[in-house]
Chain A
Amino acid sequence: MSFLRNARNWLDERLEWDDLIAPLRKKTVPQHRLSYWYFLGGITLFLFVIQVLTGILLLLYYRPGANEAFESVQYIMTQVQFGWLIRSIHSWSANLMIFTAFAHMFSVLFLKAYRKPRELTWVSGVILLFLVMGFGFSGYLLPWNTLAFFATKVGTEITGQVPVIGRPMMIFLRGGEDVTGATLTRFFGFHVAVLPGLATLLILLHVLLVQRLGISVPPKLEAEWNANPAAKREMKFFPNFALRELMAWYVALGVLGALAAVFPWNLGVKADPFISAPAGIKPEWYFLFMFQTLKLIPPKVWFIDGEVLGVLGFGVIGLLWLLLPFFESDYPSRPKRWITGLAVFALAYVAGMSVYGYLAK
């Protein structure tokens, strides 16, 4: 133990270590019956770290390129020892991470944690959610199978529907007019370099803001605690909350390991630009609600193309979603009711449309 103490003293003399971790010692987490929801952000972060680690492992064997990508993933899954497990964990963890990110967002929405002064935490979080969906979209193409090929074709074509800037954006994403090996190379670059860099920066900002501002309390409770400070209950972040969070991560790891081992991720059939789109083709579940909405919009609404309307609609909604905290009242005792209503509607819409899209032919 004296070695540890010496190492600690050595660091303290050089980095003023004790000052650095002082805020962590003082940090507390509010304790109430909804405290469980505070774990979701941490679980999402944990899954992101798993993505980085398994992603690096996959990079050892993966080769981007229309003639190699599918074969290299096949090689990972059949020849490399435990390759199937690493890839399966990467795919499952990606899906779980998107799920926990959505759950985290809705919990923040319902607990009204985005209110002043945490607007920027919300904004960085929503941008992170968009980035995570970008990770999903770009990573989905990398095995170069049929489903991914058509999903990318449709997804990039949707970008192309945006007036004026749409087409150049589509060509930029595809690396040409069509989805080809050039698209794969670009998506690979986005997936392993551009997006991880951006996401890491934003995660740092997001976590820093959480540290700086402390953890939010639902407005009703906040008003109660303000009126009667004696009723306030908190737990220390370290070690009390951190250990609980660690247990949550352990559970997440268990769920992830079980899913990855029991339901290994499929590879599918190699992409071929000269076959028809297979019947029953659908995007990944987290794009289903948008997919189903686009499917239901008629080809022409008044004089606007249905697609253009859908894409612009989702664009505007995404932007307003990002700015949501700025519509909320500054007073915890008078939260805006319509925002809660909107949150309920959004959750019902996303969930309902996803199920509908899943069941629809």
Chain B
Amino acid sequence: MTNPSDRLPPVPRRRFVEALLSGGFLATAAAFFYPVLRYLIPPKASDLGSDSVVAGRVGELKPNSGKIFRFGSRPGLLIRTASGEYRAMSATCTHLSCTVQYRDDLHEVWCACHNGMYDLNGRNISGPPPRPLVGFEVQVRGEEIFVRRRREA
């Protein structure tokens, strides 16, 4: 006749129940927190903006001035240089994403938030901006000024 204690499984029953219970609690906690964590992350907004927009009309901008236009959900900057040429670039400062403006007194692009400067090609020339502004292509078709993203070559 064998002693009942000889037949004990290698993992005692108590440990088994503990593992089952704590595993169950962990799984329940995970089942609670996973949806909450996912809920906190906002869904990705689809940018419906096309590759090309009408940024303004001919005659709207005097030489040596600039305006902000809507490019999808982001602002863009259209400049007419003193010589009458059109330039367009992203208006989101590469430093901390304030919206830049054209300074007619300096003939440069300026960000009011932290005094960042860009030249008329969008190159960062002074202040904190780490990168140039993304440039856009400008085409004048009839009365309208079209701005489009540059195609990667």
Contact = CB atoms under 8 A, between A and B. Distances in A.
Contacts of B42: 171-172, 174-176, 182
A305 interface: yes
B114 A294 contact: yes
Contacts of B113: 150, 154, 277, 281
Nearest to B111: A277
A171 B42 CA distance: 7
B96 A154 contact: yes
B122 interface: no
B149 to A, nearest CB: 17
A178 B44 CA distance: 11
Interface residues of B, number: 28
Interface string B57-100: 00000000000111001110000000000000001000111111
Interface residues of A, number: 33
A306 B128 contact: yes
Contacts of B98: 150, 153-154, 277, 281
A307 B128 contact: yes
Contacts of B75: 273-275
Contacts of A298: 128
A295 B40 contact: no
A158 interface: yes
A176 B97 CA distance: 15
Nearest to A151: B113
A279 interface: yes
Contacts of A150: 98-99, 113
A6 interface: no
B129 interface: yes
Contacts of B91: 276
* Residue among B91, B95, B100 with max Cβ neighbours from chain A (10 Å): B95
Contacts of A297: 128
Interface of A: 150, 153-154, 157-158, 168, 171-172, 174-178, 182, 273-281, 294-295, 297-300, 305-307, 361
